[in-house]
């Protein structure tokens, strides 16, 4: 017995040594236990996407079960890429806002099939990969004004918030005023508001997994009121076949889809860059010279994740700012990301639970996440109207035109026009001029 225990202890040390060498745990002053706990923390803070994304994608006509499995697999593969290749403690999953743009604008308003929309996601991911492998990424990132970068994130948030309010029935259509207040006598509207407020309160109090547990809590209330039908908790994962390699790439090679592809690309790229840089500083991945360790690898892992995600049936897979929770818990290496990925795979067996989550619980989470995304407006220079007006146009026009692409296009055109007419043409880059030409052609001929 003693020899068996010694052999088991030796094996544990060997495994620990292997993980230590691969993920450089000692170098980053962390341990296996800390990384595993950090991974669990990150997963719980972002696990709401498992329930939110399938509901949104199902509205586009995608099989809910397949969308659920695709969400789990796409997120897991993205986490594995980030952990194994970049050695970063960042979790990835289908992007909030981009999934809404996919469903409500590209499929709903523009009338494209979800297969073509996935084709556009695939193409934008390939473009992101190419840019990440070259200096084009830095050139394009630097050429877009900071005010417009912040405005894009805030605009996506406002767009997401409007969808959440509409889904809940808190905001409804009106022939007289276009939009008006819904009735809180409607259980869906009331429970969505309760979910939103519960998330806000728990998040303020730093409660572990505030969004996830608020959604589950409101679902339980719905079940008690007879609004939710219990369908079980655990089962074998649904079939992925309806979405696996279902993207229509040829159909996405359409002039009208250029703005859609660019919208997927820009929002994903700037959101990723901001998230990764923020997490890097929190995780002490910045050296003495201010250079971020393995940032290029992290961007490549993120861009590759969008391509892989499209292949299984996901909107753009991107890095999640919720990873900061895991970093705060001590996560410093890719072992944290690997842990998140494994938990996403394990979540595939909870499909019945995902199918029970009602739209009002999803709506409450959407509204809360939207509020967080609006914070980027605080970083805009409000003294220069040639910066603030284009930013406001971008933010306002995304929800009012129900299109992220239109918001970006109108914001860019407003920026270039104001700078030209106020004698500041030197602040407009060549790439921005080129994009404006594309956007003008889109509005003129499509």
Token pair listed for 104:
């409500």
Entry pTM: 0.80
Domains contained in the chain, number: 1
Residue 70 lies in a domain: no
Nearest CA-CA partner of 322 in 40, 25, 29, 32: 40
> What pLDDT is recorded for position 289?
62
In contact, 95 and 56? CB cutoff 8 Å = no
| pLDDT of 238 above 60 | yes
Per-residue pLDDT tens digits for 402-418: 888 788 889 999 999 99
- β-strand partners of 179: 173
| pLDDT of 10 above 50 | no
| Mean pLDDT on 248-271 | 86
Token pair listed for 121:
């996601």
- CA separation for the pair 169, 163 (Å, rounded): 10
Per-residue pLDDT tens digits for 313-360: 999 999 887 887 788 778 889 899 999 999 999 999 988 888 888 889
Cα torsion 280, 323, 330, 87 to 10°: value is -60
Token pair listed for 95:
């992007």
SS3 for 81?
helix
- β-strand partners of 94: 317
Kindly list the distances between the CA atom of residue 106 and the CA atoms of 38, 103, 388, in Å, as whole numbers in the listed order: 36, 6, 28
Q: Cα-atom radius of gyration of the chain, to the nearest Å?
A: 22
Residue 415 lies in a domain: yes
- Give the least confident one: 312-321, 364-373, 419-428: 364-373
Which DSSP letter does residue 32 get? H
Residue 421 lies in a domain: yes
> Residue 258's CB: how many other CB atoms inside 10 A?
18
Per-residue pLDDT tens digits for 21-58: 888 888 888 889 889 988 898 898 888 899 889 999 99
> What pLDDT is recorded for position 79?
95
In contact, 246 and 313? CB cutoff 8 Å = yes
- Give the least confident one: 72-81, 270-279, 298-307, 395-404: 270-279
Token pair listed for 368:
């809360």
Q: Using 50, 70 and 90 to split pLDDT, how confident is the model at 271?
A: confident
The mean predicted confidence, pLDDT, of the chain is 86
Residue 296 lies in a domain: no
Residue 441 lies in a domain: yes
Residue 298 lies in a domain: no
Residue 341 lies in a domain: no
Per-residue pLDDT tens digits for 99-156: 988 998 899 988 999 999 999 999 999 998 888 887 776 676 667 788 888 888 888 8
54, with CB counted inside 10 A (0-12, 13-18, 19+), is buried
> Residue 194's CB: how many other CB atoms inside 10 A?
17
Residue 287 lies in a domain: no
Q: Domain of 389? A: 381-445
């Amino acid at each position: 017995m003693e020899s068996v225990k010694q052999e088991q202890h030796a094996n544990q040390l060997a495994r620990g040594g292997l993980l230590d060498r691969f993920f450089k745990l000692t170098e980053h002053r962390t341990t296996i236990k800390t990384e595993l706990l950090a991974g669990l923390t990150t997963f719980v803070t972002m696990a709401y996407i498992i329930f939110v994304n399938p509901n949104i994608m199902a509205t586009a006509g995608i099989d809910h079960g397949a969308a659920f499995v695709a969400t789990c697999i796409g997120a897991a593969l993205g986490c594995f890429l980030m952990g194994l290749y970049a050695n970063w403690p960042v979790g990835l999953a289908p992007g909030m806002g981009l999934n809404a743009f996919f469903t409500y604008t590209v499929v709903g308003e523009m009338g494209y099939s979800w297969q073509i929309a996935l084709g556009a996601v695939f193409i934008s991911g390939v473009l992101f990969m190419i840019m990440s492998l070259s200096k084009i990424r830095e050139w394009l990132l630097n050429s877009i004004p900071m005010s417009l970068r912040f405005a894009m994130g805030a605009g996506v948030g406002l767009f997401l918030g409007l969808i959440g309010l509409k889904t809940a029935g808190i905001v409804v259509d009106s022939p007289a005023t276009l939009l008006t207040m819904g009735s809180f006598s409607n259980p869906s509207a009331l429970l969505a508001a309760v979910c939103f407020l519960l998330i806000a309160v728990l998040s303020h109090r730093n409660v572990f997994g505030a969004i996830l547990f608020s959604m589950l809590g409101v679902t339980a209330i719905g079940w008690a009121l007879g609004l939710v039908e219990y369908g079980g908790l655990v089962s074998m994962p649904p079939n992925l076949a309806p979405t696996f390699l279902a993207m229509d790439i040829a159909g996405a090679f359409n002039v009208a889809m250029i703005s859609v592809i660019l919208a997927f690309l820009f929002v994903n790229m700037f959101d990723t860059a901001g998230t990764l840089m923020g997490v890097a500083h929190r995780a002490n991945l910045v050296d003495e010279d201010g250079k971020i360790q393995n940032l290029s690898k992290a961007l490549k892992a993120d861009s590759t994740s969008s391509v892989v995600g499209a292949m299984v049936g996901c909107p753009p897979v991107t890095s999640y700012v919720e990873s900061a929770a895991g970093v705060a818990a001590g996560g410093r290496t890719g072992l944290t990301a690997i842990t998140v990925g494994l938990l996403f795979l394990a979540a595939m067996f909870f499909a019945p639970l995902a199918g029970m989550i009602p739209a009002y619980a999803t709506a409450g989470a959407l509204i809360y996440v939207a509020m967080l995304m609006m914070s980027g407006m605080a970083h805009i220079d409000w003294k220069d109207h040639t910066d603030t007006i284009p930013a406001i146009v971008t933010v306002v026009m995304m929800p009012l035109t129900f299109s992220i692409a239109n918001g970006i296009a109108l914001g860019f055109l407003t920026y270039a026009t104001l700078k030209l007419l106020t004698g500041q043409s030197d602040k407009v880059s060549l790439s921005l001029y080129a994009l404006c030409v594309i956007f003008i052609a889109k509005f003129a001929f499509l």
